[in-house]
Amino acid sequence: MNPIRFNLNCGTWDWQQTRENALLADQLGFYSLSIADHLYFVGADRNATTPSLECYATLSAVTAMTERVRLLTSVTPIGFRNPALLAKIVTTVDTISKGRLTVGLGTGALRQEYEAFNFPFPSAAERIRQLEDAIRLLKTMWTEDEPTYHGRYYRIDKGYCYPKPVQKPHPPILLGGSGKLLVKLAGREANAINLVPPNEKGAFDASHVMGFQVVDIRDRINLLHEAARAAGRDPGTIELSTFSYIFLSKDKAEADAMLAKTAATYGVEPDRIRHAMMVIGGTPDEVKRELQDRIEKVGITYFSLGFPTADAVRLFAREVMPEFPSQP
* 263-272 pLDDT tens trace: 999 999 988 9
Percent of the chain exceeding pLDDT 90 equals 86
- Does residue 64 belong to any structural domain of this protein? yes
The pLDDT score that the predictor gives to residue 50 is 82
**pLDDT value of residue 203:** 54
* 201: in domain: yes
pTM of the model: 0.95
The total domain count for the chain is 1
Q: What is the pLDDT of residue 130?
A: 98
The reply to whether 325 falls in a domain is: no
CA distance 48 to 41: 6
Element at 157 (helix H, strand E) = strand 155-157
Rounded Cα distance between 111 and 42, Å, is 11
pLDDT in tens, 231-245: 999 999 999 999 999
Average pLDDT of the chain, as a whole number: 94
Residue 212 near residue 280 (C-beta atoms within 8 A):
no
Domain around 137 = 5-241+300-308
CA distance 311 to 315: 6
Per-residue pLDDT tens over the stretch 269-327:
988 998 999 999 999 999 999 999 999 999 999 999 999 999 999 999 999 999 997 65
DSSP 195: E
H/E stretch holding 245: strand 239-248
State the CATH number of the domain containing residue 98.
3.20.20.30
In a domain, 321, yes or no: no
pLDDT interval class at 45 (50, 70, 90): low
pLDDT of residue 1: 77
- Does 13 map to a domain? yes
Answer yes or no: is 40 within a domain: yes
Contact 49, 8 (CB under 8 A): no
Exposure string (b/e) for 173-190, b if CB count within 10 Å is 16 or more? Answer: bbbbbbbbbbbbbbbebb
Q: Parallel, antiparallel, or unpaired for β 148-150 and 155-157?
A: antiparallel
Diameter over CA atoms, the chain: 62
Q: Is residue 279 part of a domain?
A: no
Least confident of 61-65, 171-175, 204-208: 204-208
Whether 247 is covered by a domain: the verdict is no
